[in-house]
Structure 1
Amino acid sequence: MNKPPSRRKKVIPGASEEPKPAADSAKENNSGQDNPASATITVTAVEVRELTDQEQSLRLQLERQVERAFLSAGQALMELRDRRLYRSTHRTFEEYCRERFNYSRDAAYLKISATVVYENLQKFLPTIGRQIPMPTNERQLRFLAKAELEPAVQADVWQQAVEQAGNKIPSGRIVKDVVDRIRERTKVPNPYHIGEICILLPKDDPDLRGKAGYWGVVSHVGDYSCTVQTWDGDYTVKIEHLKLLELLDEDCQFMQQLCVRLRQLHQVASRDSSVDWLLQGLGKQAKPYLSSLQAKLLGTVEREYKIEWRQQK
């Protein structure tokens, strides 16, 4: 009778009966692993999901918020200034901005001016202009704000600057170049002459803040500006910030001499505070004469500080 085949493993001399590690098993199952050139690398694909309509809308909203941050700041500063909401803690708007936001006077007013220009661009750019990149900071609008162009012209300047920048947001330098070209093309001769008497009109010029009504003598005439001597200093201003007083030659000469007298008093470092009241009063009285009492007061103060004055003829 034949015996059934044995189920016992054949023992091979030198071989261990312990199970092989998983790594060894993997090697046996991957016949190509012994050859590095034929190794297989498994890459897991990551699906990039498109933005939903809601996400796309949110992204656009946030991007605009970032781009228009300077606009919000300018609008807020404008309201703080116009409604004098700083008055409970600070004497002036400039002091408030410096201590509260660490803004210099020029920086605060630049933000306000840039806001006005931005709003003009929104209003005067044509319908297709909605695709035109809009400013993202006040520096790009600095020269537009200082040029004081009409709102429609500001929009034209911005369009030209965008085109010059390759349909991208232009730098402040590019905007300045366009502004200079337009102003040169529409150049108007400066109507003022040295020796004439003018009144300062501050408008939106921060350098003239508090100088409304000051009169002065034109000492220099440039292409777009004049230097004017007043009782408390020299101011270089644009011609649109001046109003000419149409006076006779002898009246101009009287006010020129009066300006010299007031400036001499202002240079006295040890002067009494009451002298400043006199200087400010006469410095805003744009008339080619002094009353009898004004003349006596001015003469008395000059003698007090040993200032000799001889009327020029």
Structure 2
Amino acid sequence: MNTRPRKRKKATSAAPPNPDIAPSEDPTSVTIDVPAVEVPELTEQEQSDRLLLERKVERAFFEAGKALAELRDRRLYRSTHRTFEEYCRDRFGHSRRQSYLLMDAAVIFDNLEQKCDRNDHILPTNEWQVRPLAKLEPDLQPEAWQQAVESAKGKVPSHRIVKDAVQKIMERTQVPNTYQIGEVCQILTKDNPDLRGKGGCWAIVTAVNNFSCTVRTWDRELTVGLKHLKSFNYLPDECQQVQEICDRISQVYSSGLEESVQRFLESLGKLRRAYLTGLEEKVLGLLEAEIIP
């Protein structure tokens, strides 16, 4: 006779009692005492060391920019490289823009360190934070930085916060654009890296914007803020003469002649008069004859 198999009972194991918990206590309500660890205050020497190390971190990009500027100014790259840009690319992996941004940032950092409140040691820690300040005059840069620090509640402000502070100051200090199309101006760099190499050049206004002008030089067209322009106050006939000279220089410059010729043409682009001397006219005429069949 077949009999049905009996079901086995599942084995259950009781957890071993915890000697630290009384049987009547709820384990979820147990209080564990953690001994307090006393954190000693910094000594006066440690506070001094901390500030010194913080300053080194802050100044890292500043020191890099200063070093690059000295390498460039003393031409310490000349034994291995033809140009400073090639040297920075091979030695540091920098693009031309990256090297010049660091050098420009070092100038701004130095300005902030000298003019900001010495009791407030909040200074930039990287080039990206100070880049917006390049749009301001050196005298306004500390004001913008202090406003950015306040907006960041006493901490190092981000690029965005600095940019907002700069924008507010620019809106406050903007003046109406009174330039006219065809007017001849002089370009003033004023610590603007985008205008490097154009300082002192004349430029012909081709478009008038709210707070800038589009201008034409002998080799290109670019947009320049009002603070980077200064009118020569030429008469209409003189402005016309400069435009004609600009057309002639541009035609020869774009023909790709020797570098020495281009340097001569660039010097004509920095004249502070609306005419060419007899010798300048003769040399330019010879160059035109060389490129025009």
The normalised TM-score by structure 1 is 0.71
Contact 2:189 2:195 in 1 (8 A): yes
Residues 266 and 121 of structure 1, relative CA distance in 2, 3 Å threshold = closer
Aligned residue number for residue 302 of structure 1: 288
Q: Which residue of 2 aligns with 1:283?
A: 269
Q: Secondary structure in 1 aligned to 2:221?
A: strand
2:127 is matched with 138
Percent same amino acid among aligned pairs? 50
The CA deviation at 1:259 is 0.9
Displacement of 1:155? 2.4
1:147 aligned residue (129, 136, 148) = 136
Does residue 1:222 correspond to 2:209, yes or no? yes
Aligned to 2:59: 68
State the match for 1:37 in structure 2: 18
Kindly state the Cα deviation for residue 124 of structure 1 after the two structures are TM-superposed.
2.6
Aligned to 2:185: 198
Cα shift at 1:206: 3.2
Q: Summarize the Cα distance change of 1:192–1:88 in structure 2 as closer, same or farther, 3 Å threshold.
A: farther
- Shift in Å at residue 245 of structure 1? 1.6
Larger radius of gyration: 1
The AA in structure 2 aligned to 1:283 is G
CA distance in 2, matches of 1:185, 1:202: 21
Per the TM alignment, residue 234 of structure 1 is displaced from its structure 2 partner at its CA by 1.9
State the 1:256 CA deviation. Answer: 0.7
- 1:213 positional shift: 3.8
Whether contact under 8 Å (2:105, 2:130) holds in the other structure is yes
1:98 paired with 2:89, answer yes
Cα distance change on mapping 1:48 and 1:83 into 2, 3 Å = farther
Q: Is the 8 A contact 1:84 1:93 kept in 2?
A: yes
Counterpart AA for 1:94? E
Partner of 1:168: 155
- Are residue 110 (structure 1) and residue 101 (structure 2) matched? yes
Task: Find the counterpart in structure 1 of residue 145 from structure 2.
Answer: 158
Query: Is 1:246 aligned to residue 236 of structure 2?
Result: no
Looking at structure 1, the residues matched to 116 and 283 of structure 2 have their Cα atoms a distance apart, in angstroms, of 58
Amino acid at match of 2:104: S
Question: Which residue is equivalent to 1:78?
Answer: 69
Indicate which of 240, 262, 269 corresponds to 2:249.
Answer: 262
Amino acid at match of 1:122: E
CA offset at residue 212 of structure 1?
Answer: 4.0
Whole-Å separation in 1 of the counterparts to 2:178 and 2:73: 33
Cα displacement (A) at 1:171: 0.7
Unaligned runs of 5+ in 1: 1-33, 308-313
Over 3 Å counting, the alpha-carbon distance change for 1:301 and 1:154 in structure 2 is closer
| Among 35, 40, 49, the residue aligned to 1:50 | 40
